[in-house]
Chain A
Amino acid sequence: MKRSFGHALLDTYTCHVVAKRLQRYLDGEVDGATKLRVERHLETCRTCGIDVETYTRIKAALARGVTDVSHAEVKSQQVV
Chain B
Amino acid sequence: MNAESVAPESDAQMFNRYVTPEIGVLLRVARTMTSSRSDAEDLVQETMLRAFRSIRGFDGEHARAWLLTIMRNANINRARRTPVADSLDEPELLLERTPSDPAVLAERSEFDEAVRHAADELPAPFRGVVALVDLDGLTYADAAAVLDVPIGTVMSRLHRGRRRIKQHLIERGLAPRKAART
**A31 interfacial contact with B, CB 8 Å:** no
Q: A65-B116, A79-B91 are in contact. Are A73 and B178 (CB under 8 A)?
A: no
Question: How many B residues touch A, CB cutoff 8 Å?
Answer: 51
Q: Are A50 and B176 in contact (CB under 8 A)?
A: yes
With contact pairs A15-B182, A47-B178 given, residues A78 and B100 touching in the complex (Cβ less than 8 Å): no
CB within 8 Å for A58 and B178 given contacts A71-B99, A72-B98, A78-B35: no
- On chain A, the residues within 8 Å of B9 by CB distance are none
When chains A and B are docked, how far (Å) is the Cα of A72 from the Cα of B36? 10
A68:B104 contact, CB within 8 angstroms = yes
- Count of interface residues, chain A, beta-carbon cutoff 8 Å: 36
Question: Which of B38, B95, B166, B178 is in CB contact (< 8 Å) with A65?
Answer: B95
If A24-B155, A66-B136 touch, whether A61 touches B116 (CB-CB below 8 Å) is yes
Query: CB-nearest residue of chain A relative to B101?
Result: A71
- Mind listing 23 A-B residue pairs with CB under 8 Å? A23-B162, A27-B158, A29-B139, A51-B178, A54-B169, A54-B175, A58-B165, A58-B166, A61-B112, A61-B115, A62-B135, A63-B134, A65-B95, A65-B97, A66-B135, A69-B31, A71-B101, A72-B100, A73-B98, A76-B36, A77-B35, A78-B35, A79-B91
